[in-house]
Amino acid sequence: MSETSSSGRKPRQYVNFVFYQVDPAWRRLPEEQREQDRKAFVEAVKSAGQGILMRAYTLVGIRADADIMLWRVTTDLDALQLQATAYLNTGLGRYLRPTYSYLAMAKRSTYVDKISPEHEGQRQYIEPGRHKYLFVYPFIKSRDWYHATLHTRQGMMDEHIVIGNKYPSVKLNTTYSFGLDDQEFVVAFESDYPEDFLDLVMELRESEASRYTVRDTPTFTCLHRDLDEAVASLG
């Protein structure tokens, strides 16, 4: 992840959140077949995942339109495509329908965190953690936000940062999608305490910057599992 590209620049990370829904027909297959499919899927994910940081999450029983999510981070965009090709060509993969897939990149924030400046370096590179819960959603701001001066926007973000620092149990991962995908940002909050995240979001709704939010849905509550466990949860 720390290699330097041929241009002499440190490569930036691509970040992908991909959600799949399993066809109910797969759950009706004999258990022996499903066990073989699960093992083949896990093997394909791992064998084709060289250079990819990945965490698996289950949404079974939590969300109606997604059962499993893979959070993948790499400096090689082709690696994401090749890995997906490998695991979707397995027996289980043929029963998976991608319901959402968000592509973004890691980038240093435009805004200065005057309270905890060390966060700026941490957020430039994404390292998927092992908190029990992950909350993910795409994010779009209005054009009026970008027409405001940087000084004006920094003032509103100062309030945003103050609120965020009141909830140290919630780790924010901001990724940028400008020109890469339909949304402008994808934000992912890690925490072991969903109640803290709920309170944080409620308080952020009252901030000045929230006036400029155009869309911040769909929102996903994901439960972290080892890959084998996440796949087993499919049935």
CATH number, residue 80: 3.30.70.1030
Same domain assignment for residues 82 and 128: no
For residue 31, is it within any domain?
A: yes
pLDDT (0 to 100) of residue 30: 97
| Residue 100 · residue 142 · CB < 8 Å | no
pLDDT tens digits, 138-182? 999 999 999 999 999 999 999 999 999 999 999 999 999 999 999
For residue 116, pLDDT beyond 90: no
pLDDT (0 to 100) of residue 125: 82
Same domain assignment for residues 122 and 144: yes
For residue 49, is it within any domain?
A: yes
For residue 90, is it within any domain?
A: yes
> Is the entire prediction scored with pTM above 0.75?
yes
pLDDT (0 to 100) of residue 2: 45
Same domain assignment for residues 52 and 63: yes
Task: Copy the structure tokens of residue 190.
Answer: 């890690």
Q: Which residue has the higher pLDDT, 182 or 5?
A: 182
The predicted model gives 1-11 an average pLDDT of: 60
pLDDT tens digits, 37-90? 999 999 999 999 999 999 999 999 999 999 999 999 999 999 999 999 999 999
Q: Which residue has the tokens 């309030």?
A: 159
Quote the CA–CA distance of 212 and 179 in Å, as a whole number.
Answer: 20
For residue 189, is it within any domain?
A: yes
Same domain assignment for residues 117 and 95: no
Same domain assignment for residues 98 and 111: no
- Provide the mean pLDDT of the chain: 93
Same domain assignment for residues 120 and 218: yes
Residue that finishes a domain, picked among 104, 138, 158: 104
Same domain assignment for residues 60 and 146: no
For residue 233, is it within any domain?
A: no
| Residue 11 · residue 4 · CB < 8 Å | yes
Sign for the pseudo-dihedral over CA of 18, 21, 23, 24: positive
pLDDT (0 to 100) of residue 129: 82
pLDDT (0 to 100) of residue 1: 45
Q: Which residue has the tokens 């993910």?
A: 136
* Percent of the chain's residues with pLDDT above 70: 93
pLDDT (0 to 100) of residue 118: 56
For residue 7, is it within any domain?
A: no
Q: Is 121 left (phi over 0), alpha (psi -120 to 50) or beta?
A: alpha
pLDDT (0 to 100) of residue 209: 96
Q: Which residue has the higher pLDDT, 117 or 27?
A: 27
pLDDT (0 to 100) of residue 123: 58
Same domain assignment for residues 54 and 94: yes
For residue 227, is it within any domain?
A: no
CA angle 169, 170, 174 (to 5 degrees): 155
| Residue 82 · residue 2 · CB < 8 Å | no
Task: Copy the structure tokens of residue 139.
Answer: 């994010």
Of 105-114, 133-142, 175-184, 194-203, minimum mean pLDDT range: 105-114
Same domain assignment for residues 185 and 214: yes
For residue 4, pLDDT beyond 90: no
- Helix, strand and coil content of the chain, in percent to the nearest 5, comes to 35, 25, 35
C-alpha closest to that of 227 among 54, 35, 75: 54
Residue that finishes a domain, picked among 77, 104, 131: 104
Same domain assignment for residues 90 and 111: no
CA angle 204, 182, 176 (to 5 degrees): 55
Range of the domain at 135: 106-222
> Which whole-number Å values give the CA distances from 73 to 3, 22, 102, 128, in the listed order?
15, 23, 12, 8
Quote the CA–CA distance of 31 and 226 in Å, as a whole number.
Answer: 21
Residue that finishes a domain, picked among 44, 79, 104: 104
C-alpha closest to that of 131 among 224, 28, 7, 19: 224
For residue 5, is it within any domain?
A: no
Same domain assignment for residues 27 and 134: no
Count of domains in the chain? 2
Same domain assignment for residues 142 and 182: yes
